[in-house]
Amino acid sequence: MEYTGKKILYITYDGLTDPLGQSQILPYLKGLSEYGYQFTILSFEKKERFRKEKQTIERLTSESNIKWVPLWFTSTPPLLSKFYDALRMRKKAIELHKQYKFDMVHCRSYIAADVGLYLKKKFGVKFLFDMRGFWADEKKDGGSWNMANPFYKGVYRYYKKKEADYLQNADCIIALTEAGKKEMMQWAYYNQHIPLQVIPCCADMDLFSLINSREKEMSRRELNLGENELILSYLGSVGTWYMLDEMLIFFKQLKKHYPGAKFLFVTPTPRGVIDKKISRLKLEEKDFIIISASRQEVPFIIKASDINISFIKPVYSKISSSPTKLGEVLSMGIPVLSNSGVGDVEDIVKKADAGFIVHDFNESDFEKAIYCIPYLLKKNPEEIRNAVKGMYSLGRGVELYADCYRNILA
């Protein structure tokens, strides 16, 4: 492995103390550090998470000789706080560049990309646009930016123009899905001469290790779950994109076929949010286990489940989405129930024969999924894991990033 000694500024508006930072930022940068890249990470941290996770992140970054420069994330007033944070981000990035003379700036999503483009134009620093998803369209589709409001309509247009600027001036672009890449290549402002690499949200397959009967039994015992109960699980936050109502309605229908079934939620979302929905749908509270867990605890708990479910709103912006939880669950060999219209999810699940894809959230489609459960329960976990290894392996993701770095810095 070559040792480059190149200095990289990594900018993210997400926090390293966020679950996302620990699953989708640090593992890649720790891997890339082994190639000799010297990282400085500029991130924006929420105070509560920072207090809880600061020591963990400091340990992880120091192990790979990564410099970490955290700033406070501000959330009020809405939107204006983002512009305020963007100004602070630019100011700090300039200070850091004057101190370290970076060879490249790696920008995660749009807010960071604005600073990366500025550093490129002002100082000639190479600029990698790690686009992630269609951010402006996600804000529109999720309802955060109401297009009936002239102000938000203007903000949307502003960021779509910015998007074009990033795509036309980046030295390399990272997309999360082949479906997103295909869509982007049809955009009028797409520059075909700029390399566009697809790298999905990979999983640490050492942490999310293959499930076995002993671990499953231990996990169930810890959670007071019966050995022969059918356990449906959900992993992650419940929010804008995740169709909680539809997942609970599915579970209600599932109970008609599997009366002893239980629904395990491993989520940072407050229990009350889920309990309200459970009550409204007249479901039994005793059928639900709702717990939060650290990243290190998640694999052990999820291994109590037979099948994992994740329904995501199939809106336009989601064609660029790569759900982190999908790679993690499949890495453990647990079959999934997912829906079409979200990134490459349908293609991946079908090619791996690792689950069932719902196309319509109605009783008929749910019945088809339930009918498929006995087949899914017989699946060999190792076959599922092996089928997705080439797609979701963290090592593969690090290699793809390293190739992009080499091409940019050649």
C-alpha 189/C-alpha 202 separation (Å) is 29
Q: How far apart are CA 346 and CA 357, in angstroms?
A: 6
State the CB neighbour count (10 A cutoff) for residue 226: 11
Burial of 281-314, coded b for 16+ CB within 10 Å and e otherwise, reads eebeeebbbbeebebeebbebbbbbbbbbbbbbb
213-392, what's its fold?
Rossmann fold (3.40.50)
Residue 279 CB neighbour total at 10 angstroms: 10
**Tens digits of per-residue pLDDT, 321-354?**
999 999 999 999 999 999 999 999 999 999 999 9
CATH 3.30.590.10 corresponds to the domain 7-202+393-409: no
Cross-strand bridge partners of residue 71: 44
Instruction: List the domain boundaries for the chain.
Output: 7-202+393-409, 213-392
pLDDT at 31 exceeding the cut of 90: yes
Q: Is the pLDDT of residue 151 over 60?
A: yes
Please report which confidence band the pLDDT of residue 23 belongs to, taking 50, 70 and 90 as the band edges: confident
Amino acid at residue number 130: D
Measure the CA–CA gap between 94 and 208, rounded to whole angstroms: 38
Helix (H) or strand (E) holding 45: strand 38-45
What is the tens place of the pLDDT at every residue in 158-176?
999 999 999 999 999 999 9
- The three-state secondary structure class of 33 is helix
Structure tokens at 32: 């890339």
How many whole angstroms separate alpha carbon 4 and alpha carbon 290?
46
pLDDT value of residue 77: 85
4 pLDDT band (50/70/90 cuts)?
Answer: low
Q: Are 379 and 354 in contact (CB under 8 A)?
A: yes
Structural Rg of the chain based on CA atoms: 22
**pLDDT, tens digit, 9 for 90 and up, residues 284-323:** 999 999 999 988 999 999 999 999 999 999 999 999 999 9
Residue 2 has pLDDT above 60, yes or no: no
The rounded mean pLDDT for the chain is 95
Instruction: Report how far residue 310's alpha carbon sits from residue 237's, in angstroms, rounded to the nearest whole number.
Output: 11
Which pLDDT belongs to residue 385? 97
Q: What pLDDT was estimated at residue 240?
A: 82
Question: pLDDT grade, residue 3 (50/70/90)?
Answer: low
Rounded mean pLDDT, 21-35: 94
Residue 400 backbone phi and psi in degrees, to 5:
-65, -40
**What pLDDT was estimated at residue 79?**
75
Question: Is the pLDDT reported for residue 1 higher than 60?
Answer: no
Residues 51-94: tens digit of each pLDDT: 999 999 999 999 999 999 999 999 888 778 888 999 999 999 99
- Cβ pair 203, 298 in contact under 8 A: no
Which amino acid, one-letter code, is at 297? E
pLDDT for the residue 116:
97
Q: Are both 7-202+393-409 and 213-392 of the same fold?
A: yes
Q: Which residues contact 59 (CB under 8 A, 6 or more apart)?
A: none
Is the distance from CB of 80 to CB of 90 less than 8 angstroms? no
Is residue 130 within 8 A of residue 41, CB to CB? The reply is no
Beta strands across the sheet bearing 288-291 = 288-291, 262-266, 231-235, 307-310, 336-339, 355-358
Query: Per-residue pLDDT tens for 215-225?
Result: 999 999 999 99
Extract the tokens encoding 332: 């453990």
pLDDT value for 19: 84
Asked whether the predicted pLDDT for residue 279 surpasses 80, the reply is yes
Q: Which two tokens stand for residue 407?
A: 């091409």
Mean pLDDT throughout 198-207? 94
Single-letter amino acid, residue 218:
M
pLDDT tier, 27 (very low <50, low <70, confident <90, very high otherwise): very high
CA dihedral 374, 305, 295, 113 (to 10 degrees): 30
